[in-house]
Amino acid sequence: MSTVVVLGSGVMGSALAVPLADNGHSVRLVGTHLDREIIEAIRRTRVHPGLGRELPPAVRAFALDELEAALEDADIVLSGVNSSGVRWAAERLAPLLRPGQLVVAIAKGVVADDDGSLHMLPEVLAEPVDEDLRARVGWAAIVGPSIAGEVAARRESCVVFCGDDQAVLDRLAAAFRTGWYHVWTSTDFVGCEISAAAKNSYALGIGFADGELERRGESDSPDRAHNYKAALFAQSTAEIRAWVALLGGQPETPLGLPGVGDLYVTSTGGRNVRVGHLIGTGLRFTEAAASLGNPTLEGAAAIKVFGTALGKLTERGVVDADDFPLMRHLYEVVALERPLAVPWSRFFGGESATATRGAVA
């Protein structure tokens, strides 16, 4: 059996302790400086306040100042912080990692260089680790449709563990896989991670649909906005495929669990969708976020990175000005605070182009 450390006691990192505990592994849940109340609650009641469920006996809660002791004999390390905290987590973990340990990224997001070149978060996690040690640690990430509450409740879930080393992925899959937590593996590290990062952004946009109904005073109408959502879903899928292709991933990856599977489940609810809904009612992004208490919005954060990169990549001639019309508008709405005006006719290669093509691929 393995000893697994999770840095960050948020809902997803904590939920993943359930399949691990079911498989007989020892799990050490280490709270960040923002998780003190969560760790205290777990120690006092065994119930995770965010999940509303009692954690298995094999899960022990640790404060941040106990991180070094928790990591001392760990086999697997999970970075369970959100996307904005990955660099912080990397700096905390770097001096404590040992050769042979497996490090798994949970947060989804993307970062960009000054020239618009994009990088996945596992690269950020590995960056401060000494180069020699970095090569002797196994790196991976988890992607796919995975709502934390459902994982904690042992609902059927299908996910993908991705990385560069198949042997590492096989070890991780064996550690996590249960009769209800189903694990596939992929060595398309970039394709999986970029799909997962982009879907958060596009899910925010799919939230516009119900907000538009509310703005029109038609929330109670039996005629919904499924056509609206379906078109955005299809354009989102096309753009996720384009992002993956741009960064050298495999073309089939966005069509499976890391892409459309995760986009579907993310677009059915959550904070990103709720802020999109409020924008659909007519609020500007800042107003919408404030009305929700300014929560962490990984989709909005990724939109700002993707959108800024798009401007630079277009200037460099890497992409055309007509490429990624939905992401460009999401950037206008979220980063530039412009009103919502979905560019329907620019989708799927341009509406007027269908007369000569005959169909939309």
Total residues belonging to the chain: 361
Q: Of 100, 65, 105, 64, which is closest to residue 81 (Cα–Cα)?
A: 105
Calculate the CA 288 to chain-centre distance: 21
The structure tokens listed for 21 are 């505990």
199 is catalytic: yes
Angle, vertex CA 252, rays to CA 310 and CA 11, nearest 5: 75
Amino acid occupying residue 156: E
Q: Of 298, 302, 271, 307, which is closest to residue 81 (Cα–Cα)?
A: 298
In the chain, which ranges are E strands? 3-7, 26-30, 47-48, 53-54, 59-62, 76-79, 102-105, 110-112, 118-120, 138-143, 157-163, 181-186
Cα 6 to Cα 16: distance, rounded to the nearest angstrom: 9
What's the number of CA atoms in the CB half-sphere (13 Å) around residue 250?
Answer: 11
Cα 75 to Cα 231: distance, rounded to the nearest angstrom: 45
The structure tokens listed for 245 are 């292709």
Sign of CA dihedral 196, 142, 193, 13: positive
Of 108, 199, 229, 304, which residue is the catalytic one?
Answer: 199
Amino acid occupying residue 255: L
Active site residues: 199
